[in-house]
Structure 1
Amino acid sequence: MAYKTKSVLVTGCSAGGIGQAIAYAFHQKGYHVFATARTPSKIPSTLSSAPNVTVLELDVLSSDSIAEAVQSVSAKTGGRLDVLVNNAGQASVMPALDVDIDEAKKIFDLNFWAPLAMLQAFAPLLIEARGCLVNNTSASAVCPFPLMSVYNASKAALATASETWRHELTPFGVRTITLITMGVNTGSFTRPGRKPTVLPESSRYAAIGDFVLGIQDGRMQKGAISPSEFAAKVVSEVEKGAYGTVWAGTQAFIGRLMFWLSPQPVLDMLVQSIVPFAKEMAKARKKAD
């Protein structure tokens, strides 16, 4: 007997984040939700204990873990998956001159290679359902925020690949949505146990070490929309049949216009207004003189 309830799998569903909000929003729309996390105990009980929610332990960096998730979903749905949301990811703050290359590769593993691995593994289920792939990238994919080159590049790689996958998957009836995510107040910068980036003493940017720490104190999410508001937008786009690049988050429409229409000097001013790196470096140099 065919499984009639629509299904969605969301990666990175830890409490407070975008993933758990998206999962819960789909649940409210009547989907059977596969809420996943590397540590399932971090998924909030409001989601994990809800009806029609299956919690799966999923490490998106492990091919074995991904294969087990495919088997679990397939067994429940009869080999179909209506929506796959690649949400799991990690931010990174460090000047390029100080980046540890091995650590940078880990960021790319999580932010780029893992979504590709998830797509390859779940493609048969998405194709069977003529479903929808959703890749959560970032405004950082198009906006070169200083001190975040590794994160920016990993999200840019995912955004470009996602749009390429869209063309490749369309012949099989699978839609692809590439989320360009603006501000969402997840509280990720202020969560207990989070270790902020500290510049090495030898850094050429050591004089602005306090500034680097400061931009990690949550101020970049201040005034942003809530995860639930963002999730409602995502589910709405999926439900109405959207495809391609979708900007979502705080002031998404204005941000989209500015990035598309503004000349380079104006874009540079915008970037520096959000992360005033040049101003802080100038102050440090003046103080040193």
Structure 2
Amino acid sequence: MAPKTVLITGCGPGGIGSALATEFHMRGHRVIATGLSEALLAHLRDRGMETVILDVTSAASIEQAVSHVSKLTGGTLDILINNAGLLHIMPFADTSVEGARRLFDVNVLGVIAVTRAFLPLLLNAATAARESGGGGGPLVANICSINSEVRPPYFSIYNATKAAVEVLSGTIRPELAPLGIRVVVVKTGAIKSEFFNNTPLVKLPEDSLYRPAREFIEGRKVLENTPYMETEVYAKKVVDTLLRPSVKPVIWQGALTTFGWILSWFGWEGMLDGLYIRFNELNKCAIHST
């Protein structure tokens, strides 16, 4: 296989983006790792990867990144992986609109902005693929989550952003297919990365309706006893799949994905509500005097 040029967003240390970048690089592909600062990308640059500063919420940053990458690659890009994202753990009733907007800015609008900006490079790669008869063509892979299926409490805004990206991906897939660009959703399960550790701890408002469950929520006990797949294992499996000549529209990878797949297939809406109420201590908040 000829080496691919791969651009990945959100490549900070210990995360999925970093692991994917490392896996592609180890296989001889050209990796352009992006992140908010050079400091966050130093560990990848030291391994011989190219790094570019990219803030997915900044039009100016995206424009500069596209210009820089275009010069580096001669105006083409084989694989774009939209991985940059934020997490928010908080009861819906205690979530500010500003906080929700910030999450959508990064997790959803960031995907839209980056993908649109790099379309010319992907189109150039599609033209080259057609002319060479090599097949496959350029690929956009959007890192999504099984949370859009399992919908755990306290993750409402995060769950919504991942569902939005999944629907976006499914909609643009047939739009971009005639142009030679493939679009894939990576439905990611529980991964042992720094994603949770890099997310600030929540503190419930003093007048929260959920203060009987304060210790559970602020202590992130919702994450206890969750099985995780090692980040490196996840990256290897995802890269294996993305490099195939033919890739399914949806890739399920990570711990608990079988459970998420079953829920998506049978559509048992509300089946988990009772369990969620009990095991997330929501039952303590059922009758709560303010």
Q: Provide the TM-score with structure 1 as the length reference.
A: 0.88
Q: Which of 201, 206, 221 is the aligned partner of 1:201?
A: 206
Q: Which residue of 1 aligns with 2:170?
A: 163
Pick closer, same or farther for the CA change 1:200–1:72 going to 2, 3 Å. same
Structure 2: segments with no counterpart, 5+ residues: 127-137
Q: Which amino acid aligns with 1:177?
A: V
Q: Which residue of 1 aligns with 2:32?
A: 34
1:246 equivalent in alignment to 2:242: no
Pick closer, same or farther for the CA change 1:78–1:250 going to 2, 3 Å. same
Structure 1: segments with no counterpart, 5+ residues: none
Q: Which of 27, 42, 47 is the aligned partner of 1:50?
A: 47
Q: Which of 61, 66, 74 is the aligned partner of 2:70?
A: 74
Q: Which residue of 2 aligns with 1:145?
A: 152
Structure 2 CA distance, aligned partners of 1:168 and 1:61? 24
Preserved contact between residue 175 and residue 243 of structure 1 (Cα < 8 Å):
no
Q: Which residue of 2 aligns with 1:112?
A: 108
Kindly tell me the number of residue pairs found equivalent between the two proteins: 276
Task: Measure how far apart 1:70 and its partner are.
Answer: 0.9
| Residue pairs, 1:123-272, within 5 angstroms | 123-130=119-126, 131-191=138-198, 194-215=199-220, 219=224, 222-240=226-244, 241-261=246-266, 263-264=268-269, 266-268=271-273, 272=276
Q: Which residue of 1 aligns with 2:94?
A: 98
Q: Deviations over 1:10-61 (max 9, x none)?
A: 001010000000111111121110011102212252x21223x211111111
- State the SS of the aligned residue for 1:246: strand
Structure 1 CA distance, aligned partners of 2:207 and 2:77? 50
Preserved contact between residue 190 and residue 217 of structure 1 (Cα < 8 Å):
no
Over aligned residue pairs, what C-alpha RMSD do you find? 2.2
Structure 2 CA distance, aligned partners of 1:139 and 1:253? 10
Task: Measure how far apart 1:180 and its partner are.
Answer: 1.1
- State the SS of the aligned residue for 2:229: coil
Task: Measure how far apart 1:262 and its partner are.
Answer: 5.9
Structure 2 CA distance, aligned partners of 1:200 and 1:287? 15
Q: Deviations over 1:49-89 (max 9, x none)?
A: 223x2111111111111111111111111110000000000
Q: Which amino acid aligns with 1:268?
A: D
Q: Which amino acid aligns with 1:224?
A: Y
Preserved contact between residue 18 and residue 186 of structure 1 (Cα < 8 Å):
yes
Q: Which amino acid aligns with 1:210?
A: E
Pick closer, same or farther for the CA change 1:151–1:265 going to 2, 3 Å. closer
Bigger mean CA deviation after superposition, 182-191 or 159-168 = 182-191
Structure 1 CA distance, aligned partners of 2:268 and 2:60? 47
Task: Measure how far apart 1:145 and its partner are.
Answer: 1.4
Q: Which amino acid aligns with 2:100?
A: A
Task: Measure how far apart 1:216 and its partner are.
Answer: 6.0
